[in-house]
Chains A and B, each alone.
Chain A
Amino acid sequence: MAWTWFHRFGSPPYFYRVAGTLTPWFAWPAGVLCVAGLVAGLALAPPDYQQGDGFRIIYVHAPAAWLSLMVYTVMAVSAAVGLIWRMPVAHALSAACPVIGASFTFVALVTGSLWGRPMWGTFWEWDPRLTSELLLLFLYLGYMWIRSAIEDTARADRASAVLAIVGVVNVPIIHYSVLWWNSLHQAPSVMKLGRPTMPASMLVPLLMMLLGFTLYFAALLLVRARGELLRRERSTRWVAEVIGGAGP
Chain B
Amino acid sequence: MTTPSRPPHLAGHDLHLWRGDRAVFSGIGFEVAAGVCLQVTGPNGAGKTSLLRALCGLLPLERGRVQWRGAEVHADLGAFHAELAYLGHDIGLKSDLTAVENLYYEVGLRRRVDRAAATAALEQVGLGPAMHQDIRHMSAGQKRRVAFARVLLCACPLWILDEPTSNLDAAGQALIGTLLAAHLRAGGVAVVATHQALPLPAESLRSLVLG
Contacts and interface: CB of A to CB of B under 8 A. Distances in A.
In the complex they form, whether A and B have CB atoms below 8 Å apart is answered with yes
Interface of B is mostly: strand
Interface of A is mostly: loop
Interface in A213-243: 234-235
A235 B19 CA distance: 13
B76 interface: no
Contacts of B22: 235
Interface in B1-37: 18-22
A154 B20 contact: yes
A202 B179 CA distance: 83
Interface residues of B, number: 5
Contacts of A154: 18, 20
B49 to A, nearest CB: 16
Interface residues of A, number: 5
Contacts of A152: 19-20
Contacts of A153: 20
A154 B22 CA distance: 12
Nearest to A153: B20
A153 B22 CA distance: 12
A85 to B, nearest CB: 13
A234 B22 CA distance: 11
Interface in A151-171: 152-154
A234 B21 contact: yes
Interface string B20-64: 111000000000000000000000000000000000000000000
Contacts of A234: 21
A153 B20 CA distance: 6
A152 B59 CA distance: 13
Point out which of B18, B19, B21 has the most chain A C-beta atoms below 10 A from its C-beta. B21
Interface in B155-176: none
Nearest to A86: B60
Contacts of B18: 154
Nearest to A236: B21
Nearest to B21: A235
Contacts of B21: 234-235
Interface string A48-62: 000000000000000
Interface in A129-185: 152-154
8 contacts: A152-B19, A152-B20, A153-B20, A154-B18, A154-B20, A234-B21, A235-B21, A235-B22
Given A152-B19, A235-B21, 6 more contacts: A152-B20, A153-B20, A154-B18, A154-B20, A234-B21, A235-B22
Closest 8 CB pairs of A and B: A235-B21, A152-B20, A153-B20, A152-B19, A154-B20, A234-B21, A154-B18, A235-B22
